[in-house]
Amino acid sequence: MDISRFAYLFEPYDQLVKEADRVFQEIRERHQDCIRCEIHCADCCHAVFGIFLIEALFLKNDFERLDKEEKEKAIARAKKADQELERIQKRLRQFRDDPYMINYILAKERIRCPLLSEEHECILYPYRPITCRVYGVPILIRGNVRVCHKSGFEKGNTYTTYNMDRAYKELYSISRELLNASGVKDTDRASLMISVAKAITTPLEQIVKGDILGGSEQGT
């Protein structure tokens, strides 16, 4: 599929990516001793999180450029990740009315990202989602500040944070534009957040329409 007709959406998404990188670097320069990110540290590559349709589109497009063998290995890992996610979703249904337990479970669960190679390197590192770009610094999400458990940021101190809530609003808005451009009337699908596993195994034609099995609405 040729995604050039969505080219006008490239710039706002690219600006979000650059802003995330800028804030990360700014916090790193201010608090060098607190950030423990290093090569082959894959803690963030085992977190449970979702990405918006616009992120899935870009990730999938670049994934298709990888060589056949690397893609096959990643798809095999994606199938395993999907099985783990199904297990977690069944567990979450038991606590659908308890946001505290849902957040607790999601924070504790560990699922290997299918883009993490056997050498503990991201095979799409330059094109990684925004969540991956800011992991390691304090982030503001759903009104709360979260940090990597390996970092040196201490409770009670004040630090610069990356506003993930604001980024989510922008990603949602761009995803709505993507659906509009695809002729989809149900733009509520822009709230879908899907796993990286779903993103790389779903055809581009389905991603641009939000037609993704296993997607979940933002905030669930």
54: containing domain? 4-206
Residue 81 lies in a domain: yes
pLDDT tens track, the chain, 220 positions: 888 999 999 999 999 999 999 999 999 999 999 999 988 888 889 988 899 999 999 999 999 999 999 999 999 999 999 998 888 778 778 877 777 776 766 677 788 999 999 999 999 999 999 999 999 999 999 888 999 989 999 988 999 999 999 999 999 999 999 999 999 999 999 999 999 999 999 999 999 999 986 555 443 3
pTM equals 0.87
Tokens of 190: 């822009």
Residue 167 lies in a domain: yes
Count the domains in the chain: 1
Residue 215 lies in a domain: no
Per-position DSSP letters for 109-154, written without gaps between them: -----TTB-TTS-BTTGGG--HHHHHTTS-EEETTEEE--TTS---
Given a contact cutoff of 8 angstroms between Cβ atoms, the answer to whether 60 and 78 are in contact is: no
- Which residues pair with residue 122 across a beta bridge? 116
Residue 20 lies in a domain: yes
Rounded to an integer, what distance in angstroms lies between the CA atom of residue 78 and that of residue 73? 9
Residue 213 lies in a domain: no
Residue 118 lies in a domain: yes
pLDDT at 219: 38
> What value, to the nearest 5°, has the Cα angle with vertex 180 and ends 2 and 187?
125
